[in-house]
Amino acid sequence: MNEVLKGAFERARAAFIPVCDNECAALLEELCRRIKPRRVLEIGTAVGCSSSVMALACDCELDTVDVDGARIEEAHKLWRDLGIEGRIHAYLGDVRQLLFRITEGKKYGIVFIDGPKSAYKSIFLHAAEHLEEGGVIISDDVGYLGLVKGNGYPPHKHRTIVYNMRSYLEYISQPPYETKIMWDKGGGIAVTEVKEV
């Protein structure tokens, strides 16, 4: 990995900023190299690590959104240092309010959902409408502390999020969607294709 980007990942982890882990980064890189999307949508910018992985792996334009302005500012510094700032368009605010505006009139080859878990399904449904043929939607951290896999009874404080995530995964595994869940990668990663019905 590029040394500048490696440093950014290390600084983020040291500061407990939840950036994607190495396996997820490797998967994003592989998918970008394979699909060669012209445009990528990312939900959850944080300090710009995963967006940099994707923008360095293919010659895409990338839209990304985060509610935390300080993180977006730091991300801009990273993109500038990496020479990719011109291809990345960062939106500050709540994805639930901004998504329609960001995606208006656009199609994406890759969508990476790594933001608020409670909004995964609504983001997914909207993203699916804006997905190019042959594109994929990647949902990160779907294993949620290892509690989502199986039918186990989750601890009370995690119950809602675990049940919602199970129902999300079930939904995105039914036609017209085809989803591969990699429980052992990252915090659990789901990769979804939309198939013709």
Ligand X SMILES: C[S@@+](CC[C@H](N)C(=O)[O-])C[C@H]1O[C@@H](n2cnc3c(N)ncnc32)[C@H](O)[C@@H]1O
**Can you give the binding site for ligand X, defined by CB under 6 A?**
18-20, 44, 46, 49-50, 65-68, 71, 94-96, 114-116
Q: Which residues pair with 192 in a beta bridge?
A: 137, 179
Q: How far is the CB of 95 from ligand X (least distance, A)?
A: 4
Nearer Cβ to ligand X (6/176) = 6
Nearer Cβ to ligand X (147/189) = 189
State the CB neighbour count (10 A cutoff) for residue 184.
10
Are β-strands 88-92 and 61-66 bridged in parallel, bridged antiparallel, or unpaired? parallel
Q: How far is the CB of 38 from ligand X (least distance, A)?
A: 20
Nearer Cβ to ligand X (137/176) = 137
- What's the rounded Cα separation, in Å, for the pair 53 and 61? 13
Nearer Cβ to ligand X (7/18) = 18
Q: How far is the CB of 90 from ligand X (least distance, A)?
A: 11
Q: How far is the CB of 151 from ligand X (least distance, A)?
A: 26
Q: Which residues of 67-77 are buried (b: 16+ CB within 10 A; e: fewer)?
A: beeebbebbbe
The answer to whether 133 and 61 have CB atoms below 8 angstroms apart is: no
- What's the rounded Cα separation, in Å, for the pair 78 and 114? 19
Q: CA nearest 161: which of 113, 114, 117, 112?
A: 117
Start-end of H helices in 40-171: 49-57, 69-82, 95-103, 120-129, 159-171
Q: How far is the CB of 134 from ligand X (least distance, A)?
A: 23
Nearer Cβ to ligand X (116/154) = 116
